Copies of this chain bind each other. A is one copy, B any other.
Amino acid sequence: MKNKLVITKIGGKFIDDKAKLDSFITEFSMIKSPKILIHGGGNKATEISVQLGLEPKLIEGRRITSKDDLDVVVMVYSGLINKSIVAKLQAKNCNSIGLSGADGNTITAVKRPAIDIDYGFVGDVASINTNSIEQLLNAGFTPVFSAICHDGNGQLFNTNADTIASELAISMSDKYDVDLIYHFEKDGVLDADENVMSSLNMQEYISLKSKNIIKEGMIPKVDNCFNALKNNVSIVCIGNTIIE
């Protein structure tokens, strides 16, 4: 039988809410099984960018990452947010270790191909080094990933945290019985009446999507979840909604 591994991703707006973050940290630290946390960016990167006189460029909701923008996201995600979360977890006796994909060569990425749009220093996950991550878990550490990866040739890339979470979950499923949980500002996937759904299957998803009830940023999130389920991840949740 495989050992349980809990992989949790927390979104940016969740991180910006100090009370929500602190109560999450307490709950997460109490999970007994090996666990991994992946965090998004929050508003801080945009705040710092504006203060530094950079102009955030978004195309269809996606951030174009210039060299200067990359410096800011590396500073904010892998520096300020990552170390703050690690220090908070340590205070709860969770022996966390903050990582980018470059650390321990855990996650490589390739530059997103510039087909219609050149996203700059945005990368897509290329490979997960499960041995490296397993060594850290076996040593009793709780990896805390920021969404910064490297290409193995010295270049860092801004990478999507939701995708890192699902790719990590899929890769680690070879060795572990993986639960993948997405936490964000809402308590789960909402139905037509804005109530949190206790579960969501593919048929319901297709129907709710066609009615524009599940829409926008939620679509890639749910797609990531179904993809993880198809690829041997045991349990997948968005907040309190179980994806079936």
A residues at B contact (CB < 8 Å): 48, 51-53, 71, 74-80, 82-84, 86-88, 90-91, 95-100, 102-105, 132, 135-136, 139-141, 148, 150, 152-156
A83 touches B154 (CB 8 A): no
Return A124 CB to nearest CB of chain B, in Å: 17
Contact of A48 among B52, B74, B84, B98 (CB under 8 A): B52
The 10 residue pairs across chains A and B that have the minimum distance between CB atoms: A79-B79, A75-B75, A91-B154, A75-B79, A135-B139, A87-B102, A87-B150, A97-B103, A86-B102, A78-B79
Chain B residues in 8 Å Cβ range of A156:
83-84, 87
What's the number of copies of this chain in the assembled complex?
2
Chain B residues in 8 Å Cβ range of A80:
71, 74-75, 79
A76 and B76 CA atoms in complex are apart in Å by 9
A176 and B135 CA atoms in complex are apart in Å by 22
A140 and B105 CA atoms in complex are apart in Å by 12
B90 touches A102 (CB 8 A): yes
Chain B residues in 8 Å Cβ range of A88:
154
Contact of A96 among B83, B98, B103 (CB under 8 A): B103
A98 touches B95 (CB 8 A): no
Return A46 CB to nearest CB of chain B, in Å: 14
Given A87-B150, A87-B155, A91-B152, 10 other A-B residues pairs in contact with their CB atoms under 8 A: A51-B51, A52-B52, A74-B79, A83-B100, A83-B102, A86-B102, A90-B154, A91-B153, A97-B99, A135-B139
| A74-B79, A77-B79 known; A98-B91 Cβ under 8 A | no
B78 touches A83 (CB 8 A): yes
